[in-house]
Structure 1
Amino acid sequence: MRLRGKINVKTLAGSIAIGIILLISMNLKAFNTSQIIFFNSLTGFSDTIPNNDTLPLATDTVIVKSRKDSSLLAKDTGKLAKNDTLNLSKDSLDAPVSYAAADSGVLLIPSKQFILYGKADAKYKDIELQAAIINYNQQSQLVRAYGLSDTSTDLNAKPKLTQGDSKSISDSILFNLKTMKGRTTNSFFNEGELFVHADVLKKEGKDIFYGYRGRFTTCNLDTPHFAFRTRKLKMIANKLAVSGPASPEFEGVPIPIGIPFGIYPLTTGRHSGILPPQFIVSQDYGLGLENLGYYKVLSDNFDITTRANIYSYGGYSFNINPKYYVRYHYQGALNFSFQSIKALNQNYLTPQEYNTSKSFMLNWTHTRDNKARPGTTFSANVNFGSTKYNQYVLNNPFVNFQNQLSSSISYSKDFGGKSNISVNLNHNQNSNTGLVNLNLPTISYNVNTFYPFQKKEQVGAPKWWESIGIGYTGNFTNQLSFYDSAFSFKRLLDTAQYGFTHNIPITLTLPQLGPVTLSPSVSYQERWYGQKIFRNWDSINNRLDTSIRKGFFAARQMTYGISASTRIFGTYQFKHSSGIQAIRHEIRPTIALNYSPNMNGKFYYSMKVDTFGHVIRFSQFDGVIPGAFPEGAFGGISFGVDNLLEMKVKSKTDTTNNGIKKVKLLDGFGFNSSYNLLADSFALAPFNLYARSTLFEKINITASAILDPYQVDQFGFRKNVFTWNSSHPTLGRLTGANIAISTQFKSKTKDGKTANSQIPVDPFMTPEEQQMQLQYIRNNPAEYTDFNIPWTLSLSYSLNYTKQLHVDSLSRYSFASIFTSNLNFQGDFSLTTKWKVGATGFLDFNAGRLQQLSMYLTREMHCWQMSINVTPIGLWRSFSITLNPKSGILRDLRINRTRMFSNY
């Protein structure tokens, strides 16, 4: 093209032209392209762009072709413009504009218009505009954008406007750069999770939008699965969207129901608001609304959540959950729950119509950032409440079977790496027995091992005495115990007891004697007690009575020893052509000589325990913290053997290490025991056997057992006769054993990528919040199903055997064998690509039944999800059907049907 008008920089028109060009500060990058088809405006304005290839240019018109540099050539002056921005008039913009066009840019000087043709792209502040044609009028500050005028339905050919997180695609766009007001037609608008399609979209300012005759949805497909149609819609960017009367449609089919209005939050981050309830039906509690509450943001570091459950039979519960978080200092959460239960009595043998109960639960977690005060730590994890609280929690079988509660508040301080102190407040509670134990407080002081004979400046080889190390550990414990059903302050003081333990270990490291390592040791322990317990047999009532004597008492113990250990290796080689190349066996034997004088025999006495004349040795400190020292002198041998068994096999896939792969057969197995050379009876201690292995890198196995080498009488009391000296000789008598087997299997992912089994955890969540999240996932597995994995299966089995001493109604002592075994399972599999079924449960072999079973069926629906949860076995039986959108904006828009039944 040629220039049709000459520009004189000395004239007013030339100055305005250069000022506009420099003001916009754009780098043209256009190039010659084929002819394009212009799109007719749908805005109804009279000044639309004609539908031809080029515009008739006025005399004062400049056509600018893009260049690689940012300079504009003025023909009549032969000079280059050096500045990109220059404020020359009141109607100039307050920020530079960068732009590009595939075809050309046309400057109309008389009308002060600048037009870009062909894949035009302009950026101003946080606004980016892309269109086939962009027309900017400096005098009116109006920007018009158009698409192509063909019949293409490709959204990429339409004007696109992006401002911050808001995006829109329209047939035509008109807006004012000064007032930020505008109007678009046939627009697709996106704000956060909300997608809007409106016939007309009007912008009243920077952040306010109005839509007319549109539909909105959270489905991000071009043809959404569902939407809500409405005539009027208002949106405030990053705050909320409000609609008038709306009716839903699914797959384009209208549903004859409607909502009078809708409020949809678009705010990111925390903000206060009402937490909507969930409707349930319970056989025992009646109709109910659960989790009705309010969330309040009090400050940047503090918020509080309140929730309540209300039931038609008169029961209710409420929960208060404040949280605090100060970055780089500390974070924590407090949770207080109260239950007033009024449940329908299912036992028709009792006259009352309802069963009532009141209970509470208090949880507090607190952690302090290590950077806040280096060298000191403070943390708290408190769980304290009524015994029956967990029993009345609905639809949570994991909590229903939780019978142990424990708490811990701890503080520790390090003194320059030489010593440290820790203070702990502990609590444990058994819901079955109702026994509560409080340790208020437990104080530990430790002095790290130091070497008093070591020289500060080492010269030459160190002497053997320089490796003598001395340490110290002191523990103070104060314990209170009571039953929550019979609490009184007097009984609490009666059960109070304290104890102090001192331990001074002395170590010496000797040089290795070839393959043998020698380690001598000396240890002194002293324990302080606040009471003694004496037991007496009542021959009149045939029972064992106890009495407590308060005071200050002490007991001491010395131990001397030396141990030797080594490692023995053995390998059996197979033929080179064999799949198994070698089996390697490693043996780690240890042997130790120990001596402890009889410093506590004076505290032991013999006492009759039943009408058959059985006698048991008791210590005056049995049942007193911190526990009793053993009786008698010990001078004997302690021994043990640990083994490792592995093999080398040929690998068909792994070519490293010459294609040889190591496989562990047994990670460890062995035994340990001791023999007291000074004892006149029962000199040989029981054997502790153990084994652990991982088979096929899938099955984890751990096992242990205790073998007693002595025989017992008909009541289970030991006799000083070895088991191999009987008519049926054995290596020992099994007194305790356990085995645990766990495994997990899963299929390959559909996309071939490695599945991530870890649940993403927010680093700013407190440990209690993370546990609550994991608990919610366990209770609602259907909402966290990975459809990319066709099937998964997890199994965990445990078997335990113990011998326990118990007393019958006639005060006769005997030993009983107790077996416990259970199986935990969890799995799921895909019926189709969109349907998945799963289950989790707990099988008690002692009871011979399933103690807990939960099943679910879920359907993946892209932007929606349907889940059916059924709990047919447990303290509370229930089923629920939930259909809800996945979007966080519409998470409260759900269809839910829940029914619950008691299993009493």
Structure 2
Amino acid sequence: MCKRCKINVKTWLSIVVAGYLLILIFIQPVSGGPAAVHQLFWNADTTAPRPDTTKGLADTTIKKKTDSTSRHIDSLKISKDSLDAPVKYSAEDSGVLVVDTKAFYLYGKAKTDYKDMQLEAATIGFDQQTQTVKAFGSRDSSGNPLSKPLFLQSDMKTVSDSIFFNLKTGKGQVKNTFLQEGELFVNARVLKKVSPDEAFAGWARLTTCNLDTPHFAFRTRKMKIINNKLGVSGPAFAEFEGVPVPIGIPFGLFPLYKGRHSGILAPAFTASEDFGLGLEGLGYYKVINDYVDLTTRANLYSYGGWNLNLNSKYIQRYHFTGSVNLTFQNTKSLNRSGSSAEEFSSSHSFMINWSHSRDSRARPGTSFSANVNFGSTRFNQTLLNNPFQNFQNQLNSSISYSKDWNGKVNISLNANHNQNSVTRLVNLNLPTANVNVVTFYPFQKKDQVGTGKWYEKIGIGYSGNFINQLSFYDTNFNFRRMLDTLQWGAQHSLPISLSLPSLGPVTISPSVSYEERWYGQRILRHWNTSGQKVDTAIQKGLYTARQMSFGLSASTRIFGTYKFGPHSNIIGIRHEIRPTISLNYKPDMASKYFYNLRIDSTGRQIRVSQFDGGVIGPFGEGTFGGISFGVDNLLEMKVKDKKDSTGKATRKVKLIDGFGFNSSYNLMADSFALSNINIYARSTLFEKINVTAGAILDPYAIDNRGYRVNRLILDPTKFKFGRLTSGNLAIATQFQSKTRDGKDPKEKDKNIPVDPFMTPDEQQRQLQFARANPAEFTDFDIPWSLSLSYSLTFNNVLKSDYSGFETKTYSSANFNGDFSLTEKWKMGATGYYDFSTAKLQSFSMFISREMHCWQMSINVTPIGLYRSFNITLNPKSGILRDLRINRSRSFSSY
């Protein structure tokens, strides 16, 4: 190569080459030689100014006079070997032009851009005659590679030892190339690119591990790759850590789609003593359009049972979003009860889930939402390998529509449903209508000037609701019987309030309230002497009852502070007391609906209302004229912030978020004047433990059968404030260590994206899946975590036969935790213990192994309706997620 042709790109390469080519144009024929080089470089370097050729192209003939009698015409034509688009190029070292061979070379971190193709290499050569580009890497003095050519076209990116590419045909060949397609990494000895979207690989290695030396791979002799669609290979053999496995697959299909796309959902194998061998999760995902999709899954078992699930999600941004889930289940399991001669027991069940919510921006002032969960009461119990749903005994549904008129009037229509899988009782409330009128001031002037009159602050509001209810047992459903259970009712409330100015620290608020209730039936009970029981008769019709009340309340706030010394870490403790007192009067307008009912053979009687047991409860009888009182407390502490280096910063710590009591005393009652005392408390201890507690104290004594007698047992001197009749206690806490890099886990949770269009039903399903598969949601960055919760409720209730009272207690504890055995091994457990039955109702544990591009999980459920274990080993990549080693077994606890 001639050294005088070598120039430095950094020293005005474009100007020198342009001048040289202009000289060649005038001394050479128009259609030959260096004219082609001229065309190449004006297309190659778009940063240089291009000559104006529009005039020459408009008149394509140039007349040249040879003599007085003849003329010769030459045509100006574009060379066939020129490019059809400009080429941008740069090089850190130099560029070399070889005029005789029409070749151009770039040296030192060379870069070129042509159409949608980008090329980076240590050396790039272009042959204009063949339209071929060659690219090579560089090596250091010891022969090790310093860089390799990088080629990008469309979404395909390759790193190779060498590249040969034809710009005209779009075809090329690369050697020892590394190609990434989505989550798939391909290393091919030879890769032939036949079009912008298709390539053939020879002696290829496929993996989803992004390491230079992958943990696993599949080796195949030939493979075809279609960008963003599919990878198809011939016979392939797996290798782990470079060690081949003598078990291969006849062919491989590797989906490379991006975004949503339809496809088959691979199943998982399982085995159960009650259901037999099975395939779970076999299905198909169908993208219907940009707004709707459909997922179909099926579980098939060898004993003949099956489960079919249809799930569709729909969304239209700024309008609505929702999902519909239909499940049909044919359960056929071994009969372990021995009560029947049949070998298998069969049952059919179904479940319908619908969740819908409309964006408030779609129709301002109106809203529509639905959360429907309706199905067979035994559906949850017959689900296999779902311990959390097996113990869900309640199903609830609601559909709601509301309309608002300028924030003054609101009306809502609701349909509600609830059913109990133990009693198998189903209750339907449809429809339920609610009307609310926001408090308005009828005597207030539109244009207020100065201080208004006292009567201008009188406010009137309204609230009313209309209820229908149907009840039936799903074991003995009959439409006529269901209509016989129809109950309806309505209630109207008209509150009147008056806002008065504060009397110093005391706020005074008078109020008047009128309430009316309508009933669609009344229940009359009487003692059957011959049968020695209470008989019940129901009378349909329209019955009304009404009530009024008058009140005057006063409230204030009292503060107290105790300060510590200057050397103490505690600066002070602040106590806030919020007492309230009110005078109330309620005339007796409901006593005519009460009567004495004999309940046993001894002649004992109780007072009952003819509206007991309806969808709307009765008013309480008796006149009330007395005092209602209560005290609420807040206790907090100010301490020095130890994290602050200056020692001046402080922080507040709440000791008690709220603690108090409330009750009332009826001055007009001849007996039982003092009402029950309601005590409550809530606090967050050490900013970690949430505590909520409450209790109801009855200040009166009882007889030997548990009935109240008019004798106070209240004695504050002995700290005796009554008899405990009901209470509740809830304690919850969560502890977890910092991440391995020392950061707070809460900061990490802030970076988790939240899908604003995910419905509550979808969130619940994801939570159930995470609980059932905890190993797949393990965070190895957090060494350990622990969540504990405890709840206790008890209540003293009247027995169904009126023979006395009994105390029903419910107590349970939930726990969930995990810890790291090593940086790559983690184990955890979750469970539910019922203290009422003294049994561990649910327990599951997991062990998970982090293997970079693979994961192993072991899930064991030794307690529950269905005991099971599952061992799964599969790649993390979504492309090869169905390539798993799975071992699953389940056992019945019946």
Q: TM-score, normalised by structure 2?
A: 0.92
**Residue number among 400, 417, 420 corresponding to 1:430 in the alignment:** 420
Q: Is the 8 A contact 2:432 2:466 kept in 1?
A: yes
Structure 1 CA distance, aligned partners of 2:507 and 2:370? Answer: 43
Contact 1:390–1:399 (Cα < 8 Å) also in 2: yes
Alignment of 1:279-318 (within 5 A): 279-318=269-308
**SS of corresponding position for 1:485:** helix
Q: Deviations over 1:399-420 (max 9, x none)?
A: 0000000001111111122211
With 262-271 and 573-582 compared, the bigger mean Cα shift is at 573-582
Cα displacement (A) at 1:694: 0.5
SS at match of 2:249: coil
- Pick aligned residue for 2:231 from 223, 236, 241: 241
The counterpart of 1:346, out of the listed 336, 340, 358, is 336
1:366 maps to: 356
1-side partners of 2:606 and 2:647: how far apart? 62
Query: 1:691/1:124 Cα in 2 relative to 1: closer, same or farther (>3 Å)?
Result: same
CA spacing shift, 1:717–1:374, aligned 2, 3 Å: same
Please name the residue that 2:473 is paired with: 483
Distance 1:128 1:831 in 2: 48
Q: Determine which of 854, 865, 888 is the counterpart of 2:878.
A: 888
Tell me what 2:316 maps to.
Answer: 326
Q: Distance in 2 between matches of 1:679 and 1:152?
A: 106
The total of aligned residue pairs comes to 846
Pairing partner for 1:775 from 768, 776, 786? 768
How many angstroms apart in 2 are the aligned matches of 1:156 and 1:554? Answer: 93
Residue identity opposite 1:487 in structure 2 = F
Q: Describe the SS at the equivalent of 1:242.
A: strand
Q: Specify the SS of the correspondent of 1:528.
A: strand
Alignment-mate amino acid for residue 312 of structure 2? P
- Shift, 1:230, TM fit: 0.3
1:365, distance to aligned residue in structure 2 (A): 1.0
Q: Which amino acid aligns with 1:234?
A: K
SS in 1 for 2:517: strand
The amino acid across from 2:592 in the alignment is: K
**Structure 1 residue 770 displacement after superposition:** 2.5
Which residue of structure 2 aligns with residue 392 of structure 1? 382
* Partners of 2:717 and 2:561 in 1: CA distance: 40
Aligned counterpart, 2:41:
21
The letter of the residue matching 1:24 is A
Deviation at 1:309, TM superposition (A): 1.1
Write the mapping of 1:199-598 to structure 2, written as runs, cut at 5 A: 199-348=189-338, 350-598=340-588
Q: Structure 1 residues 849 and 116, CA, compared in 2 at 3 Å: closer, same or farther? A: same
Whether 1:185 and 2:205 are equivalent positions in the alignment is no
- Distance of 1:671 and 1:199 partners within structure 2: 81
Q: 1:766 aligns with which of 759, 767, 770?
A: 759
* Pairing partner for 1:650 from 615, 640, 659: 640
| Residue 792 (str. 1) matches residue 760 (str. 2) | no
Checking the alignment, whether the CA contact within 8 Å between 1:438 and 1:481 is kept in structure 2 is yes
CA distance in 2 between partners of 1:407 and 1:303 (Å) = 24
How big is the shift at 1:251?
A: 0.2
Q: Any conservation in 1 of the 2:5–2:98 contact (CA below 8 Å)?
A: no
1:721-740 equivalence runs, <5 A: 721-724=711-714, 730-740=720-730
Q: Give the letter aligned to residue 651 of structure 1.
A: D
Distance 2:305 2:252 in 1: 32
Q: Which residue of 1 aligns with 2:623?
A: 633
Letter in 2 for 1:701: V
Residue deviations 1:562-588, cap 9 Å, x none?
A: 111000000111211122221111000
Q: Which residue of 2 aligns with 1:876?
A: 866
Structure 1 residues 512, 725: CA separation in 2 closer, same or farther (over 3 Å shift)?
closer
CA–CA separation in structure 2 for the residues paired with 1:215 and 1:731: 80
Q: 1:98 Cα deviation (Å)? A: 2.3
Q: In structure 1, what is the equivalent of residue 735 of structure 2?
A: 745
1:605 corresponds to: 595
TM-score, scaled to structure 1: 0.91
Indicate how the Cα distance of structure 1 residues 501 and 89 shifts in structure 2: closer, same or farther if over 3 A, else same: farther
Asked whether 1:856 is paired with 2:832, we answer: no
Q: Secondary structure at the match of 2:22?
A: coil
| Structure 1 stretch displaced more, 722-731 or 98-107 | 722-731
Contact 1:517 1:566 in 2 (8 A): yes
Partner residue in 1 for 2:812? 822
**Contact 1:868/1:880 (<8 A) preserved:** yes
Q: Distance in 1 between matches of 2:584 and 2:200?
A: 88
1:8–1:14 CA contact under 8 A, matched in 2: no
> Does the Cα contact within 8 Å between 2:858 and 2:869 map onto a contact in 1?
yes
**SS across alignment from 1:292:** strand
Report the secondary structure of 1:490's partner residue: helix
The code of the aligned residue for 2:439 comes to: T
The Cα of 1:625 is off from its aligned counterpart by 2.2
Write the distance in 1 (CA, Å) between the matches of 2:182 and 2:717: 83
1:155 touches 1:169 (CA, 8 Å); kept in 2? no
Superposed CA deviations along residues 129-170 of structure 1, whole A, max 9, x for unmatched, are 110111123343222111125587877601011223321111
Using the alignment, how far apart are the partners of 1:91 and 1:467 within structure 2?
Answer: 92
Counterpart-to-counterpart distance in 2, 1:692 and 1:200: 71
Correspondence 1:679 to 2:634: no
Structure 2 residue 137 is the aligned partner of structure 1 residue 123: no
Q: What does the per-residue CA deviation read over 1:586-617, in whole Å, with 9 as the maximum and x for residues that have no partner?
A: 00000111111111111111101122332221
Q: Which amino acid aligns with 1:897?
A: R
Matched residue SS, 2:804: strand
Alignment partners' CA distance in 2, 1:22 and 1:705: 90
Q: Does 1:754 align with 2:768?
A: no
Larger deviation, residues 453-462 vs 217-226? 453-462
**CA contact 1:247–1:255 (8 Å) conserved in 2:** yes
Match of 1:770, SS?
A: helix
Query: In the TM superposition, what whole-angstrom CA distance separates every residue of 1:622-676 from its partner, at most 9, and x where no partner exists?
Result: 1112221111121111100000011122222135892322111101100000111
**C-alpha spacing 1:513/1:94, structure 2 compared with 1 (3 Å):** farther
Assess, with a 3 A threshold, how the Cα gap between structure 1 residues 358 and 508 changes in structure 2: closer, same or farther: same
Q: 1:765 to 1:625 in 2, by over 3 A?
A: closer
Q: Which runs of 5+ in 2 are unaligned?
A: 7-16, 52-76
The verdict on how the C-alpha distance between 1:107 and 1:464 changes in structure 2, with shifts beyond 3 A counting, is: farther
Q: Does 1:8 align with 2:1?
A: no
Equivalents in 1 of 2:244, 2:723: separation in Å?
Answer: 77
Match of 2:683 among 693, 701, 708: 693
Q: Which amino acid aligns with 1:419?
A: V
Tell me: CA distance 1:360–1:423, structure 2 relative to 1, closer, same or farther (3 Å).
Answer: same
Quick one: structure 1 residues 444 and 149, their matched pair in 2 at CA, closer, same or farther if it must change by over 3 Å?
A: same
